[in-house]
């Protein structure tokens, strides 16, 4: 009978997911300045944040990348993903990836790459990350530099003894952990490292102090956006001022592999507990948390598509997931 607690927990999880799906309303159509859109993500979500920002650089003014790598480094091939995460002298060749971005830009498959030089970037690589090596993030910094992003617009944090995770001041595993739910809590400079604060400050400039209350994101129906491999339900946090008609900003957070709400044991850890919402509330930032579905063909670990499982256009404006998230952003902005 030792299985009963696990069975009960599984039933509870199913009930919660079913309730969330039933409660999901349409994504609200509000007011936002699209030129103030930013993105961030962890792991596959970090690679996706890079892809999304490169594809939509005309509207995305900044990206926060936690344990990711350069644009299209997997080269449409899942077998190359491991080389992307632990690169050596042979792979990835950064200039090859820069040339590919330039070619996609020339063809109109992505926005002009010249836009990237006016954006701002927060890069984070934990010293104890054994899943995505620090060299991958070094290569990402090199990628941006070769595309003429000034050094002053890149903040690269690589001194924290963190494992592979979002870093939250509110909750999480011990700092050096490399395991689920991939949210860690780290001491730094006399306190807990507040990654959402550091990230959003780098992308937007000085922030109003965070709300004392960490607000809850609400479910919305993702089905209507028809993104291949996406869950039926996503989540969005809307500050009171934004709900009341103020013109706000939009920040998109891409979860990592096995970090979707559909994954067992994850729940609301990304969309409610990392700590974005408390800064969003006082700075008029709507936070969009799109979700990948479990059990989809070619994607057993609930990853965002950074290696081509949705088709060869996955890293372009026509990519199924990129197009779906952009439609969410535009609807939230009232377009």
Pick from 152, 299, 147: nearest CA to 231: 299
Instruction: Find the catalytic residue in 43, 105, 231, 260.
Output: 43
Answer yes or no: 43 catalytic.
yes
Question: What's the chain look like in SS3?
Answer: CCCHHHHHHHHHHHHHHHHHHHHCECCCCCCECHHHEEEEEECHHHHHHHHHHHHCCCCEEEEEEECCCCCCCCCCCHHHHHHHHCCECCECCHHHHHHHHHHHHHHCCCCCHHHHHHCEEEEECCCCCCCCCHHHHHHHHHHHHHCCCCHHHEEEECCCCCCCCEECCCCCEECCCCCCCCEEECEECCEECCHHHHHHHHHHCCCCCCCCCCCCCEEEECHHHCCCCECCEEEEECCHHHHCCCCEEEEEEECCCCCCCCCCCCCCHHHHHCCHHHHHHHCCEEEEECCECCCECCECCCCCCCCCCCCCCCCCCCCHHHHHHHHHHHHHCCC
Helix axes 44-55, 320-332, angle to 10 degrees: 70
129, 139, 194, 305: the catalytic one is: 129
- Of 278, 330, 276, 265, residue with least CA distance to 64: 276
Contacts of 200 (CB under 8 A, 6+ apart): 38, 64, 207, 251, 276, 279, 283, 285
Give catalytic status of residue 164 as yes or no.
yes
Active site residue 129: yes
User: Exactly one of 44, 111, 164, 320 is catalytic; which is it?
Assistant: 164
Which residues are marked as active site? 43, 129, 164
């Amino acid at each position: 009978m030792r299985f009963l607690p696990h069975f009960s927990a599984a039933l509870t999880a199913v009930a919660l997911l079913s309730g969330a799906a039933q409660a999901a309303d349409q994504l609200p159509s509000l007011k936002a300045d699209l030129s103030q859109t930013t993105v961030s993500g962890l792991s596959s979500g970090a690679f996706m944040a890079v892809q999304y920002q490169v594809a939509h650089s005309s509207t995305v003014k900044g990206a926060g990348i936690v344990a990711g790598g350069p644009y299209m480094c997997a080269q449409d091939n899942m077998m190359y993903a491991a080389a992307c995460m632990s690169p050596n002298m042979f792979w990835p060749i950064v200039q090859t990836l820069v040339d590919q971005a330039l070619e996609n830009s020339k063809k109109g498959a992505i926005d002009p790459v010249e836009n990237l030089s006016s954006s701002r970037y927060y890069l984070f690589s934990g010293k104890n990350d054994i899943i995505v090596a620090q060299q991958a993030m070094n290569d990402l910094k090199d990628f941006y530099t070769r595309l003429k992003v000034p050094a002053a617009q890149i903040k690269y944090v690589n001194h924290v003894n963190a494992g592979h995770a979002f870093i939250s001041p509110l909750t999480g595993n011990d700092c050096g952990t490399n395991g689920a739910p991939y949210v860690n809590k780290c001491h730094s400079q006399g306190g807990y490292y507040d990654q959402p604060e550091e990230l959003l400050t780098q992308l937007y400039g000085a922030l109003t102090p965070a709300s004392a209350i960490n607000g809850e994101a609400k479910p919305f129906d993702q089905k209507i956006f028809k993104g291949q491999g996406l869950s039926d339900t996503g989540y969005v946090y809307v500050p009171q001022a934004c709900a009341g008609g103020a013109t706000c900003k939009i920040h998109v957070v891409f979860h990592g592999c096995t970090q979707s709400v559909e994954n067992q044991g994850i729940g609301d850890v990304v969309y409610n507990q990392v700590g974005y919402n408390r800064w969003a509330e006082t700075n008029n930032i709507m936070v969009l948390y799109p979700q990948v579905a479990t059990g989809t063909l070619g994607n057993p670990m609930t990853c965002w598509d950074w290696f081509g499982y949705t088709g060869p256009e996955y890293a372009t404006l026509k990519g199924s997931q990129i197009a779906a998230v952009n439609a969410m952003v535009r609807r939230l902005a009232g377009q």
